[in-house]
Chains A and B, each alone.
Chain A
């Protein structure tokens, strides 16, 4: 089979509309020195931030869910986002992942990728993974299969029809199962997991995708304190290699992981800074922490 798919890929490459022929490549100095050659489909974080949200507005039937929101997430940073219910945190993630199209403003992934022009699956493939607020897993599939499906690999239809897990891929799944602590539940149906375990499984699915940016919406809802500590550990360990954006209501949890906190209120940024700075911010105390 692999021979056949190889042929298929060769043909596909040859017929690509944006195929580059050797003679069309401009041998500029920059190209030759290898200083700055950026493919439009490659992530470019040379300016620091990996995610740019600028003046984003979203309204639902006249209700302004996001209001000129501007936010920058640096490459490798761990950022916590807090804010009262309805502040627009989930909507912000919807905008980044292509679920909701902003009425105005710009969303960029690195310098080059305009997320508002990309479909959900392209955004996911480009390297933005997302955990939903309500844990969403594949209930009829086993833990193993859930992770298998999320794995970073060719997700085309024909590839899926004939692919078989390689030894490396199996190792990777096992590795992640260990990280999320579900070893004992390899083959149980995901539907049967507890709420906390589902949260973990969904985080595991994120890890399988090996994304550059992880958007994690309320990861510790329904978790015990022990589980929370482990989640905190996991998320902090991920930062650096990945950028992690965590939305969370649990203040203790936020305190335990955050160095940078952004407070959203009524669809725009109210304050930004360390947990301490934010906690002492008068406006924040008024709308959120004080209550």
Chain B
């Protein structure tokens, strides 16, 4: 296939991924063009709020990939992945708060408004460094990664699996929810962080900034997808699937299972953190609600509906469900949760492989052909 020349070797068999990425690039270019170059008076013009909405979807799709890595491939159903997303978001939020400077309501150059309001006199230690973007970028990856590392180290080592692990991840995100609600945390309590003005000196309200954020989200999704594909195609990825299917067997052929689970869990948390960090400047707020256990459950539903263990299924699921959510919460707000529930039940009953399972017959044929092809190659080399 001609398309193969454009993709790295580990994606050559990934028909769905190649389509997805090609489409994403095409859509990104089109959206940018129709927003930027077509005058607002024209019917073809894509308004900026729509661009931002699409950007949000893309961030959520990246989050779905992160969950698919641990759930679809490693069999760890994390129902707390929203926590890593939110932590990445808070890190970005802290940077955006520092960017406000003295333009807040109280005009304090050092302290964010909510701290002035609470009569705080100096910036807590953990706010130090967030005035630098590079430091923030590091924290966006490190903080979720570290939490995942500590949590994973404790649970995987004690061989907690299955439902128990899922419950513990729920507890994790719930505990964080409660903690972030408290004003004493110094992260805006109930209201969270908001009223952002600039990012890297560019106004967040400007069309240009929003288009760039959208483009960056698309880029992050594409690179996150490619990186994840590289991982699942590698021997590490095969080992992770082996752990999912026969953990004991994997252990008894000499793999330190905990290490593998921990690695993929931490990587996934970092990916979720990046998604959260790109999400926050586009929605303009981060509050403890992002830690809500319901968010994480919804995330699992996107992946289940899209199709587990394929990566592109997660992306499709996230985009479709979130589009539906936007539509329903606008048109029939009280129906959204019912619609989501129905969607979930229908997909688990009739589409256990998710939406991508529908195409599986087609791809199976393809796989068989390429397997034959591979066998021939194997023989000739």
Please state if B374 and A187 are interface contacts (CB–CB under 8 Å). Answer: yes
User: How many residues of A sit at the interface, in one of the four size bands?
Assistant: 20 to 34
Distance A47 CA – B239 CA, assembled complex (angstroms): 37
Query: A139 contacts the other chain (Cβ, under 8 Å)?
Result: yes
Instruction: Encode B238-260 as 1/0 by CB contact (under 8 A) with A.
Output: 11011001101111111111011
Most chain A CB inside 10 Å of its own CB: which residue of B241, B246, B372: B246
Q: Which residues of A contact B260 (CB under 8 A)?
A: 157, 160
Distance A140 CA – B248 CA, assembled complex (angstroms): 15
Instruction: Encode A94-105 as 1/0 by CB contact (under 8 A) with B.
Output: 000101000000
Q: How far is the CB of A1 from chain B (nearest CB, A)?
A: 11
Asked if A157 meets B371 with Cβ closer than 8 Å, knowing A145-B238, A149-B238, the reply is no
On chain B, the number of residues with a Cβ less than 8 Å from chain A's Cβ atoms is 28
Query: B168 contacts the other chain (Cβ, under 8 Å)?
Result: no
Q: Which residues of A contact B375 (CB under 8 A)?
A: 186-187
Query: A119 contacts the other chain (Cβ, under 8 Å)?
Result: yes
Query: B122 contacts the other chain (Cβ, under 8 Å)?
Result: no
Query: B154 contacts the other chain (Cβ, under 8 Å)?
Result: no
Q: Which of B62-70, B228-236, B321-329 contacts A (4 or more CB under 8 A)?
A: B228-236
Distance A152 CA – B252 CA, assembled complex (angstroms): 12
Query: A10 contacts the other chain (Cβ, under 8 Å)?
Result: no
Query: B263 contacts the other chain (Cβ, under 8 Å)?
Result: yes
Please provide the 6 A-B residue pairs with the shortest distance between their CB atoms, ordered closest to farther: A124-B254, A160-B236, A187-B371, A160-B235, A161-B236, A136-B249
Query: B334 contacts the other chain (Cβ, under 8 Å)?
Result: no
Q: Which of A108-116, A125-133, A269-277 contacts B (4 or more CB under 8 A)?
A: A125-133
Please state if B254 and A155 are interface contacts (CB–CB under 8 Å). Answer: yes
Please state if B242 and A120 are interface contacts (CB–CB under 8 Å). Answer: no
Q: Which residues of B contact A150 (CB under 8 A)?
A: 253
Q: How far is the CB of B285 from chain A (nearest CB, A)?
A: 37
Distance A120 CA – B248 CA, assembled complex (angstroms): 9
Residue of B nearest to A128 (CB): B252
8 Å CB contact of A141 from B238, B253, B254, B256: B238
Query: A148 contacts the other chain (Cβ, under 8 Å)?
Result: yes
Q: How far is the CB of A21 from chain B (nearest CB, A)?
A: 28
Q: How far is the CB of B106 from chain A (nearest CB, A)?
A: 49
Please state if A138 and B246 are interface contacts (CB–CB under 8 Å). Answer: yes
Q: Which residues of chain B from 254 to 276 have any CB-CB distance to chain A below 8 Å in the complex?
A: 254-257, 259-260, 263
Q: Which residues of A contact B263 (CB under 8 A)?
A: 157
Distance A121 CA – B256 CA, assembled complex (angstroms): 6
8 Å CB contact of B255 from A99, A121, A142: A121
Distance A150 CA – B255 CA, assembled complex (angstroms): 9
Q: List 9 A-B contacts (CB under 8 A).
A: A121-B251, A121-B254, A124-B251, A124-B253, A130-B252, A145-B238, A149-B238, A149-B239, A209-B254
